[in-house]
Chain A
Amino acid sequence: MTIPQGVSPVTPTPPTPVPVSSLQPAVFAAIDPSALVKLRARDVRIRYGARVAVRDVTLDVPEHSVMAFIGPSGCGKSTVLRCFDRMNDLIPGAVVEGTIELDGQDMYSRTVLPVEVRRKVGLVFQRPNPFPMSIYENVAYGPRRYGLKDKAQLDELVERSLHRAALWDEVKDDLRKKSGLALSGGQQQRLCIARTMATDPEVILMDEPCSALDPIATLKIEELIAQLKAEFTIVIVTHNMQQAARVSDRTAFFTLGEDRAGYLVELDDTLKIFTNPAFQLTEDYVSGRFG
């Protein structure tokens, strides 16, 4: 996509190489040993007023990988996820402490506007939320707001995004007449993904994107995620452990501590988390003993 006038790209500082755990490359060819870190969180603590919701979160998300956040309900997975596009800013009283960086740049620094962050980091919500507009207008929404007016470019962008979201064939005939709300649940979610991709983000966050969908729609979206990895960095919160095992390269396991605050227990390659985790707590969760 051509960058519209007036948009100044954030220039990243030189990337830091990330050490990768020593696993059989045959099973985990995904992680390139010299992969760059796209998102970084250091000692992050999120609280609402005095109440701490999540604490002690330190993690790195390598570029072009899929990271899954798993854990029991209420342990703050979505809260942490939303830090990465500053959506917690919308909640009055929410305070994010610690460092959160995109390409080495502090997202929460005073000189960075939330709007800038959200243009580079997209979010797919738990329940599909297309606008009450036509399919075309839904996808074109982002680019239009960034100032793109040229009709030919918009048309091309919409088509490309719908292709990438594997939705094009199903909707190509009534792009402009059919409302986004008239699609099935699975289609709506793919529309939301297309809409997010049209803004050409670098990272796509997904907050339990399949929890409101049927198994077939879920499968389609999981296939999509596997393809999207090549162009984006993806972080997905999921309740479904099989899903996490299927789509992600690395997995972060969160749980609720005795102080009623969520915290990060273990972060590792997905295979390891599910077959040979380092912590008993993790083992209990993935084998279904709680949560």
Chain B
Amino acid sequence: MRRVLLADRLATALLWGVALFVVAILVAIIVHFVLASLPTFTLSFLVDEPVSEGIGGIGPLLFNSIYMLVLTMLFTIPLGVLGGIYMAEYAGENRFTNAIRLSQEVISSVPSIVVGLFGMTVFVIAFGWGFTAIGGALTMLVFNLPLLMRLCEQAIRAVPADERAASLALGSTKWQAIRHAVLPVAIPGIVTGIVLTAGRVFGEAAALLFVAGDAVPSNYDYTFISLFDPRSPWSLFHKGTTLSLYIWNMNTESMNSQKEVISAMSSMVLLVMVLLFNLSSRWLGRALQRRVSGL
């Protein structure tokens, strides 16, 4: 009896130790970035243009990150939700469905840099676009689509069968049942899925490296609005270097003496954005859940 009690106590202590250790690492990482970036951080950092020497700012890069996010999600959301609906409501146990599942697994496992190479081959070279934001968005669509599809499918499957059954029993078509009875209930889960996917897109760099390029942007004229002229920041065809890529650039090609400080502050911004995405996905999910269930 004594031995098993001792073993139990030891095992419990060990598991607590592991948990504390891991959480400590996370805290240490966050604290490190806060300390490294807070002294030199100013709000203008978020809007100023980057400079080749000195601290400058990340304005255009933040703009690009958000731009890319919106653009990518514009494609990903409709396809992901529709695909998720198909998988949850229409798909049967057949070869086609298995093929879809297999494809989802394969794409999710392909390293993002390989997806980036694929995007480069298609958009940069074959289409002749060079480095563009739209190329980056479409490339990110490739690996985000299976992910969002999966999350939407789960959210829709989680809707109790009664909702569907009630609608059908009243004589609605299947699509009507989906649209009016099932989807509203699945919305919280879908929104959570979208926000989570968005978080991933925001921080992505490897896939974009060869499609959007890591050239440091300059002279962004936000008043010049054009969808196709690559000189306009609003253009689909402008070089969409994002914040993550900027950090990469700082640590590989840059000669800037302040690169470490810039990287630290940029990382801090990214961390804060990721935290915001996480928190809002939880908060939104819960808020929508309450609205839907009428509480």
Contacts and interface: CB of A to CB of B under 8 A. Distances in A.
Contacts of A7: 1
B5 interface: yes
B1, B2, B3 — which one has the most chain A CB atoms within 10 A of its CB?
B1
A113 B1 CA distance: 11
A83 B109 CA distance: 50
Contacts of A115: 1, 4-5
A12 interface: no
Contacts of B2: 6
B247 to A, nearest CB: 44
Nearest to A8: B1
A51 interface: no
Nearest to B8: A115
Nearest to B2: A6
Contacts of B5: 113, 115
Interface string A131-145: 000000000000001
Interface in A121-169: 145, 147
A113 B2 CA distance: 11
Interface string A3-28: 00011100000000000000000000
Contacts of A6: 1-3
A147 B2 CA distance: 11
Interface string B1-19: 1111100000000000000
Contacts of A145: 4
A116 B29 CA distance: 45
Main DSSP-derived SS at the A contact region: loop
Interface size class of A (residues with CB under 8 A): under 10
A6, A7, A113, A116 — which one has the most chain B CB atoms within 10 A of its CB?
A6
Interface in A66-122: 113, 115-116
B272 to A, nearest CB: 35
A94 to B, nearest CB: 20
A164 B144 CA distance: 60
Interface in A28-44: none
A110 to B, nearest CB: 15
Nearest to B4: A145
A91 B3 CA distance: 26
Contacts of A116: 1
A7 B3 CA distance: 10
Nearest to A145: B4
B27 to A, nearest CB: 26
A6 B3 CA distance: 8
A47 B3 CA distance: 33
B9 to A, nearest CB: 12
Nearest to A6: B1
Interface in B21-58: none
A83 to B, nearest CB: 23
Interface in B65-109: none
Contacts of A8: 1
Contacts of A113: 5
Contacts of B1: 6-8, 115-116
A118 to B, nearest CB: 12
Interface string B224-255: 00000000000000000000000000000000
A145 B8 CA distance: 12
A145 B3 CA distance: 11
B69 to A, nearest CB: 41
Contacts of A147: 3-4
B2 to A, nearest CB: 6
Interface string A275-289: 000000000000000
A80 to B, nearest CB: 28
A145 B5 CA distance: 11
Interface in A225-260: none
A147 B3 CA distance: 10
A6 B7 CA distance: 14
B3 to A, nearest CB: 6
Interface string A186-229: 00000000000000000000000000000000000000000000
A145 B1 CA distance: 9
A190 to B, nearest CB: 28
A6 B1 CA distance: 5
A147 B5 CA distance: 12
A222 to B, nearest CB: 35
A7 B5 CA distance: 11
A115 B2 CA distance: 11
A8 B1 CA distance: 8
Top 8 A-B residue pairs of the complex, sorted by shortest distance between their CB atoms: A6-B1, A7-B1, A6-B2, A6-B3, A8-B1, A145-B4, A115-B5, A113-B5
7 contacts: A6-B3, A113-B5, A115-B1, A115-B5, A145-B4, A147-B3, A147-B4
Interface of A: 6-8, 113, 115-116, 145, 147
Given A6-B2, A145-B4, 6 more contacts: A6-B1, A6-B3, A7-B1, A113-B5, A147-B3, A147-B4
